[in-house]
Structure 1
Amino acid sequence: MFCFQCQETAKNTGCTIKGVCGKPEETANLQDLLIFVLRGVAVYGEKLKELGQPDHSNDDFVLQGLFATITNANWSNSRFVSMVEEGLVRRDKLKAAFLAAYKAKNGRDFDGVLPDAATWTGATSTFAEKAKSVGILSTAHEDVRSLRELLVIGLKGIAAYADHAAVLGFRKSEIDDFMLEALASTTRDLSVDEMVAMVMKAGGMAVTTMALLDEANTTTYGHPEITEVNIGVGKNPGILISGHDLKDMEELLKQTEGTGIDVYTHGEMLPANYYPAFKKYPHFVGNYGGSWWHQLEEFESFNGPVLLTTNCLVPLRKSSTYLDRLYTTGVVGYDGSKYIADRPSGGAKDFSALIAQAKGCKPPTELEKGAIVGGFAHNQVLALADKVVEAVKSGAIKRFIVMAGCDGRHNSRQYYTDVAANLPQDTIILTAGCAKFRYNKLQLGDIGGIPRVLDAGQCNDSYSLAVIALKLKEVFGLDDINKLPLSFDIAWYEQKAVAVLLALLYLGFKGMRLGPTLPGFLSPGVAKVLVENFDIKPIGTVDEDIAAMMAGR
């Protein structure tokens, strides 16, 4: 086992026995094998496209395969074995199509060299052994390995966002084409410049994908609105929904209507409260608890069924008592949980089992009272643009601090709470993702009616923050986005945050602080390139970083 894709990775170098996240060695190796097989699928997909016979029959499988390997998404070895088996069948079907097309065009059999990912065949009984030889460390050169993994890790984030958009019926062939192009590129010996160019292309595709998902979400559910979200509990039994999938949210709300069951969000599903389409349901009562890593306690005290729609599922403790109330769906897998099958064509997922169980459960145990405010995605903020611009021109707002990204378990993440609490009163915090749980319940006040914490939504809604910044650049007539009174103090944890980071680099943002540690998958050589070209910085002390950001450094 060797895994260094998340911020928690052991000693910031790599987990080699068991993931700090809880991932066992066997699961990690099967995930490596799945990526290996997806590379083989991509090789033949690229070759068919070169022959003028593109094949898009595997697009969903590639997205979901990458998505399933994201940190804290799928813990089920049997699910990964099944995906590897299916991937080999799909790859070999593409191989046959390619060989036939090649012979038809050239009048002879293909006799070129293909990478191992495109040719390896093995029975299920050989998966465990093969997996040991195809992981991250199979690339010997440190900088090549770093650039390949930076690309693949970014692809995992892009795949997650693209899959959410596809569920809502929105997709772009350029995204699907790029996934194959990028995966196939990792099987070839490219120059460093070519690999860096591919990573930057991934940044551009991350922008395209997040824009597509934004279009999918807002077209389907309306633009997020400024919303006060209840964080207390009611007297009815409840169902708790966590993750990122808004289609699952919609179908759950429809099926629980009139049942006497309340629905609550958790973690990254909090921003569902901001969408107009969901506000019509009186039994959608608010948010329960905090970010993902608190779930071991919060899922216990919720008392009712819990539905995980995407990643951020923490392995249960031996003492946990909610496994019989845990439901997974989509790419999420956990042995012992109840799995909700995908929706049939033109139909909806069946949540009747959750509803039936919820009716026999106690109401949630109250954790807190009150409300938190969110819903400041780009459409809402730009509606307030005149007010924001005037506050900047008058000096009431001196600086915007982007504190988007992820939350996590490390004590060092207290840094983000302390930064938020100690920023001068003339600053506005722009946030998206579960990083906000570090400070969204602090009483930080407002500036002329503008809350000092503007929450755009989920991690993919970091796109909204970029849209806001680009609009402000236009309004102020600046020729460089980095001349805005804007600083970045980003917290990262998993692969979607990496896709967001690549998107911001592609858009030209420089001088970003990234913490609580720089990614372990960045070799010294690759880190040097990012520092020299984009001025990426590690976080420092709270006081030093606040002073530097306020000075525009």
Structure 2
Amino acid sequence: MFCYQCEQTKRNDAIAGCASQQGTCGKNEITSDLQDILVYLLQGVAQYHYRLAKLKGVDNQAAEFTLYGLFTTLTNVNFNATRFNVMIKEATTLRDRLKAEYEALEPNHAPLNPAASFIPANSPAELLQQASIASVKAGEETVGADVIGLRVLILYGLKGVAAYAYHAWVLGFKDDKINLEMARLLDYLATSPTDIEELLQQALAVGELNLQVMALLEKANTDSFGAQTVTQVRITPVAGKAILVSGHDLHDLHQILEQTSGKNINVYTHGEMLPAHAYGKLKAYPHLVGNYGGAWQNQQQEFADFPGAIIVTSNCLVEPQVSYRQRIFTAGPVGWSGVRHIQDGNFAPAIQAAAALAGFKETEAEKTITVGFGRHTLLGAAETVVNAVKQGAIKHFFLIGGCDGAVPGRNYYTELAEQTPENTVIMTLGCGKYRFNKQDFGTIGGLPRLLDIGQCNDAYVAIEIAKALAGAFNCGVNDLPLSLMVSWFEQKATAVFLSLLALNVKNIHLGPSLPAYLTPNLLAVLQERFAVKANKTAQLDLAEALAA
């Protein structure tokens, strides 16, 4: 195996990447190689889908399978080799159907690239022997590390885009232009491109695509569940039976709330599901009682302590411990061998498990945190914010957030938030907020100093707010007193990063460490064109931001 798509990548002098029998995330080499083969086949699917779509429109099955398939290969999503064997067969069948349809319309078409004709072996052992052709490092000895780094920057960005697009898809929101562009970019990768400048431009095209997808997902969430409103969320337990819902999928959460209604089972959110409490249709369920725990990397302890059933709806999943393995369930793209998987949105097995478990024995004293500063809330308060800036009450804005993780160095974000002056505003999103979101930062200009914008995809909201402020002050986003201190972990963060670059946003602090696939040459290009910055210390970076 070889994998370096996330921030927990193993790093040493010999190699930057997980290349042993098991990655840091717990993914073994068999699953890793099968994921590479699936992605390779999806490039073959894309070659026919892209050409066919221009002749007769987007194929919904191909579009959905591509989103779902890429999503399953994200870090900490699916560790079940059996399911990847099944998806490889499904991808082959799908590609061959598209091939037949395309060739019926274009019998004399030009030859396509190798992924279009790749035939997976029937036996598992022979299939794994084919994995080298699908490796992200394939051809590096010929084209060099910079070309490979840009190819995977595009691929990993597309994986993040696919996750966001799939969340919108399950809510009934899709866009043929988005799916056509997804196919085009995968088709582009299938050509094994080598031109550095062209690769950089296509990476920015991924960022532009992600902007469209984040906008679509924001619309999907608000149209389905109502606009976010400021909400106090309980963070202490309530006596009674309990289900904990982790991940990002609001559609799954809604189904769980529906199916547990009237069953005397309390539902708690975990990790990136916290912002669900701000949506009117979701918080109307009285048994959505609060948020339990924090960011994903603490789940082994938090899940062990939780006295009910647990459902993981998307990433990030860590190897389930024996103490709770019999009461944890996966849904959607998520999987772990031996863990029960929810089929067709029927959460009855998890509900039955929750009913059989003790639940919380006592109601603890109520403590709350505040969420709900989404686009509608903050744009509605734009005049208040602008006036506070003009009057000098607000001197600077910090976006501090993104993905959290277990690698040392992430206390940087806690220290940064704690050291921000009282005349500054902190916007936060993603599970990185758990580093400091239980602290009281006071108020400023009629608003809390700490504004929880939502999930990682709500970076779109932060972008819209920045654009609104720039419009109010008749300047560019880069001219605002705004600093972006972004923590990254996996591929959705890569997609957001590319979106910011596509908007020509400069001076982004990215950490706690930089992606291993950004070679020194590539990093130098990003620093020259976009002034991308690596973290120093919280104190130094804060002083630099405030002096600008």
TM-score normalized by the length of structure 2: 0.95
| 2:276 and 2:282 in contact (8 A); partners too | yes
Query: 1:236 and 1:132 mapped to 2: Cα distance?
Result: 52
1:93-492 equivalences under 5 Å are 93-103=97-107, 109-110=108-109, 112-125=110-123, 126-140=126-140, 141-188=144-191, 189-317=193-321, 320-342=322-344, 349-364=345-360, 370-478=367-475, 480-492=476-488
| 2:371 and 2:454 in contact (8 A); partners too | yes
Give how far 1:485 is off: 0.8
Query: 1:450 and 1:143 mapped to 2: Cα distance?
Result: 45
Greater displacement, 89-98 / 75-84? 89-98
RMSD: 1.5
Query: 2:305 and 2:361 mapped to 1: Cα distance?
Result: 5
Query: 1:101 and 1:143 mapped to 2: Cα distance?
Result: 38
Give the letter for the 2:308 counterpart. Answer: G
Does residue 1:542 correspond to 2:532, yes or no?
A: no
Query: 2:356 and 2:53 mapped to 1: Cα distance?
Result: 54
Give the letter for the 2:348 counterpart. Answer: S
Query: 2:2 and 2:353 mapped to 1: Cα distance?
Result: 40
| 1:321 match: secondary structure | coil
| 2:514 match: secondary structure | coil
Query: 1:243 and 1:47 mapped to 2: Cα distance?
Result: 35
Give the letter for the 1:298 counterpart. Answer: E
Give the letter for the 2:441 counterpart. Answer: L
| 2:282 match: secondary structure | helix
Distance 1:51 1:260, change over 3 A: closer
Does residue 1:502 correspond to 2:505, yes or no?
A: no
Q: Deviation per CA, 1:206-258, whole angstroms, max 9, x where unpaired?
A: 00000000011001111111111100011111000011111111111111111
Query: 2:346 and 2:365 mapped to 1: Cα distance?
Result: 31
Does residue 1:517 correspond to 2:513, yes or no?
A: yes
Does residue 1:79 correspond to 2:44, yes or no?
A: no
Give the letter for the 1:41 counterpart. Answer: V
| 1:231 and 1:368 in contact (8 A); partners too | no
TM-score normalized by the length of structure 1: 0.95
Query: 2:120 and 2:285 mapped to 1: Cα distance?
Result: 51
| 1:186 match: secondary structure | helix
| Map of 1:106 onto structure 2 | none
Give how far 1:50 is off: 5.1
Give how far 1:376 is off: 0.6
| 1:133 match: secondary structure | helix
Give how far 1:365 is off: 7.5
Give how far 1:316 is off: 2.4
Query: 2:111 and 2:335 mapped to 1: Cα distance?
Result: 37
2:523 paired residue among 527, 538, 543: 527
- Identity over aligned pairs, percent: 43
Give the letter for the 1:130 counterpart. Answer: Q
1:47 paired residue among 31, 34, 51: 51
Q: Deviation per CA, 1:238-291, whole angstroms, max 9, x where unpaired?
A: 000011111111111111111110000000101101111112111110000000
| 2:276 and 2:283 in contact (8 A); partners too | no
Give how far 1:128 is off: 0.9
| 1:39 and 1:117 in contact (8 A); partners too | yes
1:54-73 equivalences under 5 Å are 55-73=59-77
Q: Deviation per CA, 1:107-147, whole angstroms, max 9, x where unpaired?
A: xx45x433221112133312211113321110312111111
Give the letter for the 1:35 counterpart. Answer: V
Q: Deviation per CA, 1:473-526, whole angstroms, max 9, x where unpaired?
A: 111121x11111101110000000111111111122111100001111112222
| 1:418 and 1:542 in contact (8 A); partners too | yes
Query: 1:418 and 1:260 mapped to 2: Cα distance?
Result: 41
Does residue 1:2 correspond to 2:6, yes or no?
A: no
Task: Note the residue ranges of structure 2 that are not aligned, 5 or more in a row.
Answer: none
